[in-house]
Amino acid sequence: MPVGRVVVSAWLSDCRTRLPGMLAKPSSSFAFPRSARLTIATEFQRVLRHGRRIHVDELMAVVHRSDTAAPRLGLAIVKRHVRRAHERNRIKRIAREYFRHQQALLPPVDCVLMVKPGADGLSNDELRQRMESLFQLVIRRCSAGC
């Protein structure tokens, strides 16, 4: 066997033993696990039917008391209000990021975030400011209970 193949073979066996540990995700308090999301249609329906609506300019949150001890987020960014897919994805990405960083401050509620027409025209900074004011209202109105 040539020398080059031996080196590559040793490198591959080293990668196979080290790869599982390298792929493990570090645990973080800023993670956004599946348990922090609304994923089932019945959960969305419960929040939308019985929740409290909180409006800030181009954003709206529908909030309902959660069965879990931690807040959960659901996103309902509709094509009717934000036509382009990349704009919907940008809004969702910023919403998830903001929620991840602020979830320790939020009361245990299920929150469905929705947009109104014109949200796609906001810059990232403006969108973050709107989300900050929206979630401050959520904290203020739902701390005692929703």
Question: What pLDDT was estimated at residue 8?
Answer: 52
Q: At 62, phi and psi to the nearest 5?
A: -105, 120
For each of the domains in the chain, give its residue range(s) and CATH number, in order of start: 34-142 (3.30.230.10)
Q: Based on the number of CB atoms within 10 Å of its own CB, is 113 exposed (0-12), middle (13-18) or buried (19 or more)? A: buried
pLDDT at residue 39 is higher than 50: yes
Query: Residue 11 in 3-state DSSP?
Result: helix
Could you tell me the pTM of the whole model?
A: 0.74
Which whole number is the average pLDDT over 117-128? 91
pLDDT at residue 100 is higher than 60: yes
The closest of 126, 18, 41, 34 to 73, measured between CA atoms, is 34
Question: What pLDDT was estimated at residue 33?
Answer: 82
Question: What pLDDT was estimated at residue 67?
Answer: 84
pLDDT in tens, 52-96: 999 998 999 999 998 888 899 999 999 999 999 999 999 999 999
Question: What pLDDT was estimated at residue 6?
Answer: 54
Cβ-proximal residues to 58 (8 Å cutoff; 6+ apart), any chain: 115, 116, 117, 118, 119, 122, 130
Cβ-proximal residues to 63 (8 Å cutoff; 6+ apart), any chain: 47, 51, 52, 53, 54, 109, 110, 111, 112, 138, 141, 142, 146
pLDDT at residue 19 is higher than 60: no
